[in-house]
Structure 1
Amino acid sequence: MSDDPWDEDPHYAHQAAWQNISTQFTNSGYRQGIIAGKEASLQEGFDVGFADMGSPIGRELGALRGIASALVSFLSSIKTTPAELEEARAIATSLSRIRFTDIAPPDIEAEQHAREHLHNDDPGLVQTEVLSQRREMEILEDMLSHMNARSGTEQVRPTREDVVILKGRLSSLSERLGLSLSFQDLGTDK
């Protein structure tokens, strides 16, 4: 006979093995449930964010940029006043400098959720790693832009209001040129 107590009672060894396997299945199922829940939440959040914010804002900005670029190209190919061509170029340039993050509204719910989990009341610290990296790259781009700007001029990031102003300037220019452009289809008049 062996000195190992497991060898003496095969029923006890079988029950211990069963308990171990049961615990592993429970833990594995729990982890899979958490992963599935996170994936479902992420997908739902993406779908809502894309449909309600990302797509409309991106489509609007892209359409305005396209119209401005087409207008610059058109004015470059016909006889027009230098002021009109310069205005179209200025609008196109301004639109090209706008980032999605400049004009997208903040995700208050996501920020609140992050604050709750971080136990921190400083909204400046509530950022995911991806957003942090993106913001870091934007800061570097801004620094490079400042180096190329005339000294003494501080550049400020554009806002949603700037897009509205640029849209108005683009509409006004097109009307002065006798062009009929439909801006209400861009989703900007909500």
Structure 2
Amino acid sequence: MDSPWNDDLVDDSHRREVEWDNISSNFTNAGYREGITTGKEEALQEGFDSGFEVTGAPLGRQVGRARGMAAALLALLSDGSNPFDEELVAEAREIASHLGTIRFSDIVPPDLEAEEHARQHRLAEGEEMDVNEDIQAKRDVEGLEDLVFRMGTSEVTGKRRKEARPTMEDFNSLVLRMNNITEHLELEVHST
């Protein structure tokens, strides 16, 4: 006796339902992934814009201005047309030299919020708290730069200097020393 239900019809209907569920699930997952990616990109761009506007550009401008002023001051003192005190020339040379070794990474304030977020993210995923490979590679290169710098720099005693990287306080101190020279020479410095 034939079944009132056509088995081919039931199998075909079940197959279509399974396919529809798979397609729906795939689109939902793709939409979710796309939403996460878009959100990350927008947050990344917003973070970059904010960091550049609030920290990067002003700090870069400040360091660039100080280096330019130090170079101009050293050129003025070293041109030979005016006999300046050798101690003043040596002071300007030292300031310019130290300003030339300062990196942005030395004086930028740490982003504590980003560091905490990264730490929580790594802990949540069970990752080790090791340093990001890109950051470690940058630190390795900076370490080599420091080594080369120290090889070419010596103290009066002839021993190689081993210094910690400069800080924002060191930068501000160099700027203050430079301002003292300009005041001593009665030079008028205009900021733009």
Asked whether the two chains share a fold, i.e. TM above 0.5, the reply is yes
Flag structure 2 segments of 5+ consecutive residues without an equivalent: 1-6
Alignment RMSD, CA only? Answer: 2.3
- The corresponding residue for 2:4 is none
TM-score by length of 1: 0.82
- The corresponding residue for 2:3 is none
1:69, 1:19 → 2: CA distance?
Answer: 70
How much has 1:135 moved relative to structure 2?
A: 1.4
| Residue of 18, 21, 33 corresponding to 1:19 | 21
Whether the aligned pair in 2 keeps the contact of 1:76 and 1:85 (CA below 8 Å) is yes
The letter of the residue matching 2:163 is Q
- The corresponding residue for 1:174 is 182
The letter of the residue matching 2:166 is P
1:52-131 correspondence runs (5 A): 52-77=54-79, 78-81=81-84, 82-119=86-123, 125=129, 127-131=131-135
Structure with max Cα Rg: 2
Aligned length: 176
Greater mean alpha carbon deviation, residues 39-48 or residues 80-89: 80-89
Greater mean alpha carbon deviation, residues 64-73 or residues 12-21: 12-21
Q: CA 1:89–1:7 in 2, change beyond 3 Å: closer, same or farther?
A: farther
Q: CA 1:152–1:96 in 2, change beyond 3 Å: closer, same or farther?
A: closer
TM-score by length of 2: 0.81
Q: CA 1:140–1:156 in 2, change beyond 3 Å: closer, same or farther?
A: same
Runs of 4+ in 1 over 4 A off after TM superposition: 5-8
Flag structure 1 segments of 5+ consecutive residues without an equivalent: 186-190
How much has 1:141 moved relative to structure 2?
A: 1.4
The letter of the residue matching 1:21 is I
Whether the aligned pair in 2 keeps the contact of 1:68 and 1:88 (CA below 8 Å) is yes
Greater mean alpha carbon deviation, residues 133-142 or residues 101-110: 133-142
1:49, 1:181 → 2: CA distance?
Answer: 29
Identity %: 42
Greater mean alpha carbon deviation, residues 10-19 or residues 97-106: 10-19
